[in-house]
Structure 1
Amino acid sequence: MKIDSNETRSVAAAANAPAISATSATVPAHAPRVDLYVGIHKALRALMTDTLVAVGRMDTADDLDTAQITHRVLELMDFCIAHLGHENEFIHTAIEARASGASGVIARDHEGHEKEISRIARAATGLLQLPGDARAVPALALYRELALFIAHNFEHMHVEETAHNAVLWSRYTDAELVDIHNRLVASIPPAEMMFVLRWLVPFMNPAERLEMMADMQRHAPPPAFEAALEIARPHLSDIEWGKLMRGLGLPPVPGLVTV
């Protein structure tokens, strides 16, 4: 998974970061159940819609603009493939261990998504091989195919967040769900983790954002925590940043945060 050039220096710092909490490792009795999907699906929805809008605005006569935006499409496709792999390996395995067959419909969706991802990646790459005056029609086709892919994924994620969560909540304790989540996150390479954080942290609500970052503040090496804050800061409003800093007990100053 590729990340922006201004984020590359933060990758190494996250190598020893602890798992990003699904909610909290210790869940009060009155709290909602641990949701393995909510955070990453917010990140996916944000990334998908942002990429779709970019494709719709692409200047196909401009080589640089076309190259940058098709690169973003390919990054999204890479992220989707990685996400499918994580769900298949950890969440579907957990579901099948205690409810055989319950992940079958979504697993078949995943197979279909992999084929769609390959088609979209080929279409995006193909744009770069065309002269500028021949890109407009295939670019519009790419936009529409990407829109349908995203629409299918939105419906797919809703099923996971409802039907799959119902299975998981009926068969696993919160502590077991946190363990599944932590093992999944521990398997993610540092560069991919930084890419996830860029789309995860800004699109959480303030309570979710504070909970996740407070967990990192408590358990991550300081450079990893600082790297996560540095990645999130450009994508938060001043009000959102101020709320986060107050919650973490840190001064809301620009730039790097000393921890």
Structure 2
Amino acid sequence: MPRTDLYRNVHMGQRARMFTLAIELGAADLDGAGAAVYAERCLDLTRELRAHAEHEDTFIHPLLRQRAPAAADALDAEHLRLDAAFAALDASARALPGTAPDDLPEARHGLYLALNEVIAAYLAHLHAEETVAMPALWENATDGELEAVFAAFRASRTADEALADLRAMLPALPAAARATIVRGAVEAAPGEEHRTLAALTTTLAPDQRNRLYADLGLPEVWALRDR
């Protein structure tokens, strides 16, 4: 039976959003309004990744440092490298909206390169967490302790934050994992099942939503009630 993985699902969502942003920014033919949109999307990304690092520092790393200090030290070094890449992307994003129209193509490409530098650094960080930190925790912590980490994080989130977390993650997950998560969320909201399912599925593509309803054994009309 698979053990509790503190990283897998959220990291899959992060990868999907980073890759999508890079593809869309790379193909963008920007005007002034578009420049502001993509600048804000890049700033939103670094805000999200910094907040994620803070969550890990608060909820995961105390246990990791206690049980596997060498792995914790490796992640600390990764954070320093990431901070520099985040700062460079932020600077490039903030400069983009004020760029003269004739200079926008080169400025957009500069932002694209800064974004991909973040992605490259962040992918290495995710790999370290998934192949070094998580195995170290599996070796040195119990399932109960890992579940307690999850429980503490969930308790720290407001209802709106928890919904946003799931909406960001669900499109990137395999169908079976998506159905398990959504089923748990729906069962945890007695009397609000219809609204909960509708709220959770707003970020899914139509084929993903149809597969989810099939996996849950629900007709689409049930899921769309009370929208």
The alignment's TM-score, normalised by the length of structure 2, stands at 0.89
Displacement of 1:221: 5.8
Match of 2:174 in 1: 205
User: What is the rounded CA distance, in whole Å, between the counterparts of 2:190 and 2:223 in structure 1?
Assistant: 19
Asked if residue 184 in structure 1 is aligned to residue 153 in structure 2, the reply is yes
Displacement of 1:228: 5.8
Secondary structure, in 3 states, of the residue corresponding to 1:235?
coil
Match of 2:47 in 1: 78
Match of 1:36 in 2: 6
The runs of 5 or more residues in structure 1 that have no matched partner are 1-30
- Matched residue pairs, number? 227
Displacement of 1:180: 0.2
Match of 1:150 in 2: 119
Asked if residue 57 in structure 1 is aligned to residue 33 in structure 2, the reply is no
User: What is the rounded CA distance, in whole Å, between the counterparts of 2:191 and 2:136 in structure 1?
Assistant: 37
Displacement of 1:214: 1.0
State the Cα deviation string for residues 227-258 of structure 1 (Å, max 9, x = none). 564353452233x3233223334321387345
Match of 2:218 in 1: 250
Greater helix content: 2
Q: Is the Cα contact below 8 Å between 2:213 and 2:223 reproduced in 1?
A: no
Amino acid at match of 2:116: A
Q: Bigger relative contact order, structure 1 or 2, given CA contacts below 8 A and separation 6+?
A: 1
Query: Which shows bigger deviation, 189-198 or 42-51?
Result: 189-198
Secondary structure, in 3 states, of the residue corresponding to 1:33?
coil
Amino acid at match of 2:113: R
User: What is the rounded CA distance, in whole Å, between the counterparts of 2:170 and 2:156 in structure 1?
Assistant: 19
Match of 2:79 in 1: 110
RMSD, aligned α-carbons: 2.3
User: What is the rounded CA distance, in whole Å, between the counterparts of 2:59 and 2:162 in structure 1?
Assistant: 17
The alignment's TM-score, normalised by the length of structure 1, stands at 0.79
Match of 1:21 in 2: none
Sequence identity (%) = 28
Match of 1:164 in 2: 133
Q: 1:222 to 1:256 in 2, by over 3 A?
A: farther
User: What is the rounded CA distance, in whole Å, between the counterparts of 1:84 and 1:257 in structure 2?
Assistant: 37
Q: 1:64 to 1:191 in 2, by over 3 A?
A: farther
Q: Is the Cα contact below 8 Å between 2:42 and 2:90 reproduced in 1?
A: yes
Displacement of 1:162: 1.2
State the Cα deviation string for residues 147-179 of structure 1 (Å, max 9, x = none). 121022112211211111111101222222111
Q: Is the Cα contact below 8 Å between 1:34 and 1:178 reproduced in 2?
A: yes
Secondary structure, in 3 states, of the residue corresponding to 1:102?
helix
Secondary structure, in 3 states, of the residue corresponding to 1:32?
coil
Q: Is the Cα contact below 8 Å between 1:197 and 1:228 reproduced in 2?
A: no
Match of 2:96 in 1: 127
Q: How does 1:136-147 map to 2 (within 5 A)?
A: 136-147=105-116
Amino acid at match of 2:140: R
Q: 1:110 to 1:227 in 2, by over 3 A?
A: farther
Q: 1:121 to 1:168 in 2, by over 3 A?
A: same
Secondary structure, in 3 states, of the residue corresponding to 2:4?
coil
Query: Which shows bigger deviation, 187-196 or 130-139?
Result: 187-196
Q: 1:200 to 1:126 in 2, by over 3 A?
A: same
Amino acid at match of 1:38: R
State the Cα deviation string for residues 85-134 of structure 1 (Å, max 9, x = none). 11111111110122233211111211221222122112101111222222
Q: 1:132 to 1:179 in 2, by over 3 A?
A: same
Displacement of 1:64: 1.7
Match of 2:17 in 1: 47
Q: Is the Cα contact below 8 Å between 1:95 and 1:102 reproduced in 2?
A: yes
